[in-house]
Amino acid sequence: MKKLILAATALAMSAGMGMGETVRLGTEGAYPPYNFVNDAGEVDGYERELGDELCKRAELDCTWVKNDWDSIIPNLVSGNYDAILAGMSITPEREEVIAFTQNYIPPAASAYAALSEDADIEGGVVAAQTGTIQASHVAESGATLLEYATPDETVAAVRNGEADAVFADKDFLVPVVEESGGEMVWIGDDVPLGGGIGVGLRQSDTELKEKLDAVIGEMKEDGTINEMIAKWFGEDAPLFE
């Protein structure tokens, strides 16, 4: 009997090992082209493609989880999922709470967009998503900050006239401005913000951080990350050297 139990346990354990470790990846699903829910209802975008490739190379069995931006850090530290890939810039404030891998998108520009060229971005009302580096930047700039829970609502606020301008990652705003047929225009200069975008992890999860750091480094070396950036953000997007 004892032998039978031992054999069963050994079998169960080896079966578990063959599958590889299961890692749950959290994302917002509302920030095209970084991450969004496509028309089939699945997570899609740059981060989906990148995340799947990272998991393949690190031999992890990954599943995607959607979570609101507001609670994306609290739900990571309480263990609902194991990593955040949601266009989250690496900042010192966030590093006090969670750990980041090395960046998978180089430091990129943020930009203002508005309905007219004479919108006031220094003293007017500027919309930004809650809890983003752009929101902190607007708060410090002297303009009145209007915060929204989702990126889409920040753009809608400008179209509805509730805000004079929207401030967000330029890569997010490019399709919005270009496809508006001249309705929306760029205002002022681009603003470089943050230390690039990395995978957010629990500080206690050092093992996963090592694994992901290694494969991100590998993908930077062989140029696959640059290819993906060019595919999703256009040829003009900043690349890794």
Partner 1 sequence: MTVPLMISQCADPASLQGLSWLMCYLTTGKHMLFYASFGVVLLLLAVTAPIALLFGFGGAMASRSRLLPVRWFGKLYTSMVRGVPDIIFFLFVPIALDQALEWTRHQMLCDTDAPVRQGNDFVVCAAAKLPLSTSPEWVHQTYGFILAVIAFSIVFGAFAANVLYGAMQAVPRAQLETAEAYGMSQRQVNRRILIPQMWSYAIPGLSNLWMILIKATPLLFLLGIEDIVYWARELGGAKTSAFAYPHPDWRLYYFLGILVFYLAMTWGSEKILARLTRRLSAGQATMGGEALRKGAA
Binding residues vs partner 1 (CB under 8 A):
19, 22-24, 29-30, 32-33, 36-42, 45, 61, 63, 65-68, 71, 75, 77-79, 82, 97-98, 150, 152-153, 155-156, 159, 175-176, 179, 202-205
Taking the complex as a whole, the smallest distance from the CB of residue 41 to partner 1 amounts, in Å, to: 4
Q: Which is nearer to partner 1, 39 or 122 (CB)?
A: 39
Q: Which is nearer to partner 1, 8 or 192 (CB)?
A: 8
Closest approach of Cβ 108 to partner 1, in Å? 17
175 or 223, CB closer to partner 1?
175
What is the closest distance, in whole angstroms, from the C-beta atom of residue 152 to partner 1 in the complex? 4
Q: Which residue's CB is nearer to partner 1, number 18 or number 222?
A: 18
What span, in angstroms and rounded, lies between the C-alpha atoms of 142 and 122? Answer: 6
CA distance 35 to 39: 13
* Residue 218: closest CA among 100, 101, 107, 95: 101
Please report how many Cα atoms fall inside a 13 Å half-sphere around the Cα of residue 151, on the Cβ side. 24
Question: Contact at 8 Å (CB) between 73 and 97?
Answer: yes
| φ, ψ (nearest 5 deg) of residue 163 | -125, 150
Q: Is 239 within 8 Å of 105 (Cβ atoms)?
A: no
- Closest distance of CB 241 from partner 1, Å: 27
CB of 47 to partner 1, least distance (A): 13
Beta strands in the chain (DSSP E): 21-27, 30-31, 35-37, 43-44, 60-66, 83-84, 99-100, 109-114, 125-129, 144-148, 165-169, 185-192, 200-201
One-letter amino acid for residue 233 of the chain = F
Contacts of 131 (CB under 8 A, 6+ apart): 69, 70
User: Residue 48 or residue 220: which is nearer to partner 1 going by CB?
Assistant: 48
Residue number, 83 or 121, with CB nearest to partner 1: 83
Shortest reach from residue 75's CB to partner 1, in Å: 8
Measured from the CB of residue 98, what is the shortest distance to partner 1 in angstroms?
7
Question: Helix, strand or coil for residue 160?
Answer: coil
Q: Which is nearer to partner 1, 143 or 232 (CB)?
A: 232
